[in-house]
């Protein structure tokens, strides 16, 4: 009897150990199957497979704010290839649910540093928009920077010209078993969170309205301004509208002022303060001394108008002479001035933007030259003409009386 009891107990233990062994083997097999699915998908990303890339990160999702969509082009595929060239991963843990219906795989992903890339992208996009705005104001209507294709061209350019460091992201990949009891079929669940994790958080960083600070944003405005050509700068800052002259004279003076900016303009950001969606950035601006230019112009103009030549020249020549004096005063100027300027920026939920940028920058740079000194010259010229006409009338009356 005791022998039978011992045999029963022994068989029970053996059966239990066998069941545990089978269960453990199945469990390990499930883990292996899950891990194999994840490896297969991530290896395809690592090997720059465009079909897999688009399965997990649709190209339209990266820039949802783009106003004009485009088809998936070779250029866009190349951009993703450039992004994933440093992609790597390491599986750290696999957990299969007790019911064998779901699983979670913990992975450490290595991608390009998305924060730096997103910041560079936003700066380059703003730079492009400022340049296009300047070109549009001078008659070249262009707004391509808002299209999806333009966004990818900018991203492609950045990835081609910069060697970005890598960053690591901890990611949990969820899988579901879509098979049956006889045959399992594990499938990765595609989620917005997974999309963002696979690109190292780039989607979230691009959507961050503070990825460029108010100081960084103003820096882009001021640096871009310095690089605009003469026509772009004068149209963007509204310099052409300052001069109440003919087109030829207007362009000459505007070009001379823009050249003064290229030679003398500099800036140092001193402080910044934020209040909700508003920010004020105090900046030390170095630019040409408009007061010095006007003083030199007025002195030389007064000297000319007091001369006999001004009376003899007549109205048209006096105007041409005043224009010549102003142009020379601008070209000959070597005096600079330094002033603190408060720039106001507004965050519209997308990014920080400089308020009334053309006029704000124009006033900061041109100072008292935001009004045309030639208007005063025209008034003085009218007075001279009136005095000349009166003198002529007086002479005529005197001659008549003598006769």
Q: Coil, helix or strand for 286?
A: strand
Helix ranges (H only) for 60-180 are: 74-83, 114-137, 148-161
Residue 139, phi-psi category: left (phi > 0), alpha (psi -120 to 50), beta (remainder): left
Q: Which of 31, 180, 11 is nearest to 23 (CA)?
A: 31
Q: How far apart are CA 57 and CA 90, in angstroms?
A: 20
pLDDT in tens, 326-345: 999 999 999 999 999 999 99
Segment 12-37 shows an average pLDDT of 59
Contact at 8 Å (CB) between 281 and 272?
yes
More confident residue, 89 or 74: 89
DSSP classification of residue 181:
S
Segment 58-76 shows an average pLDDT of 79
pLDDT score of 124: 96
Q: How far apart are CA 310 and CA 382, in angstroms?
A: 12
Q: How far apart are CA 18 and CA 22, in angstroms?
A: 6
All structural domains of the chain with their residue ranges: 2-207, 214-402
pLDDT score of 399: 44
What are the structure tokens assigned to 396, written together?
Answer: 């005529």
Contact at 8 Å (CB) between 290 and 371?
no
Residue 229, phi-psi category: left (phi > 0), alpha (psi -120 to 50), beta (remainder): beta
With 90 as the cut, is the pLDDT of residue 226 above it? no
With 90 as the cut, is the pLDDT of residue 300 above it? yes
More confident residue, 52 or 323: 323
pLDDT score of 373: 66
- Give the pLDDT band (50/70/90) at residue 361: confident
Q: What is the dihedral angle through the alpha carbons of 120, 123, 127, 132, rounded to the nearest 10 degrees?
A: 100
With 60 as the cut, is the pLDDT of residue 295 above it? yes
With 90 as the cut, is the pLDDT of residue 39 above it? yes
Q: Coil, helix or strand for 164?
A: coil
- Give the pLDDT band (50/70/90) at residue 286: very high
Q: How many CB atoms lie within 10 A of CB 285?
A: 19
Percentage of the residues of the chain whose pLDDT score is greater than 70: 80
Q: At what angle do helices 148-161 and 74-83 cross, to 10 degrees?
A: 40
- Give the pLDDT band (50/70/90) at residue 15: very low
What are the structure tokens assigned to 379, written together?
Answer: 């008034």
pLDDT in tens, 114-170: 999 999 999 999 999 999 888 875 555 555 677 888 899 999 999 999 999 999 999
With 60 as the cut, is the pLDDT of residue 403 above it? no
């Amino acid at each position: 009897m005791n022998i039978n009891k011992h045999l029963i107990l022994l068989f029970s233990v053996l059966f239990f150990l066998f069941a545990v062994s089978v269960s453990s083997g199945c469990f390990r097999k499930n883990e292996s199957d899950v891990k194999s699915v994840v490896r297969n998908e991530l290896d395809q990303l690592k090997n720059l497979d465009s079909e897999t890339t688009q399965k997990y990160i649709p190209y339209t999702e990266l820039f949802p704010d783009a106003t004009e969509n485009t088809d998936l082009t070779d250029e866009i595929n190349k951009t993703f290839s450039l992004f994933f060239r440093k992609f790597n991963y390491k599986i750290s843990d696999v957990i299969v649910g007790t019911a064998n219906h779901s699983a979670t795989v913990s992975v450490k992903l290595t991608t390009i540093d998305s924060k730096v890339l997103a910041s560079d992208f936003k700066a380059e996009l703003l730079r492009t928009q400022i340049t296009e705005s300047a070109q549009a104001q001078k008659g070249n209507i262009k707004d391509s920077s808002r299209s999806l294709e333009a966004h990818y061209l900018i991203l492609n350019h950045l990835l081609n010209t910069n060697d970005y460091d890598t960053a690591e992201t901890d990611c949990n990949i969820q899988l579901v078993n879509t098979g049956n009891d006889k045959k399992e079929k594990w499938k990765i669940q595609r989620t917005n969170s997974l999309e963002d994790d696979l690109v190292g958080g780039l989607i979230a960083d691009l959507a961050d309205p503070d990825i460029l600070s108010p100081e960084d944003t103003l820096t882009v405005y001021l640096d871009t301004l310095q690089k605009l050509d003469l026509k772009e700068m004068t149209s963007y800052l509204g310099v052409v509208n300052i001069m109440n002259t003919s087109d030829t004279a207007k362009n000459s003076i505007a070009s001379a002022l823009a050249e003064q900016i290229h030679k003398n303009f500099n800036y140092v950001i001193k402080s910044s303060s934020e209040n909700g969606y508003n920010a004020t950035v105090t900046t030390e601006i170095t630019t040409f001394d408009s007061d010095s230019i006007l003083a030199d112009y007025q002195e030389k103009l007064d000297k000319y108008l007091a001369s006999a030549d001004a009376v003899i020249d007549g109205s048209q020549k006096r105007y041409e002479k005043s224009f010549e004096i102003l142009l020379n005063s601008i070209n000959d100027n070597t005096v600079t001035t330094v002033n603190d300027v408060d720039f106001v920026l507004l965050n519209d939920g997308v990014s920080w933007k400089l308020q009334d940028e053309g006029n704000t920058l124009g006033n900061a740079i041109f100072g008292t030259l935001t009004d045309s000194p030639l208007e005063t010259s025209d008034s003085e010229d009218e007075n001279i003409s009136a005095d000349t006409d009166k003198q002529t009338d007086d002479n005529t009356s005197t001659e008549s009386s003598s006769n």
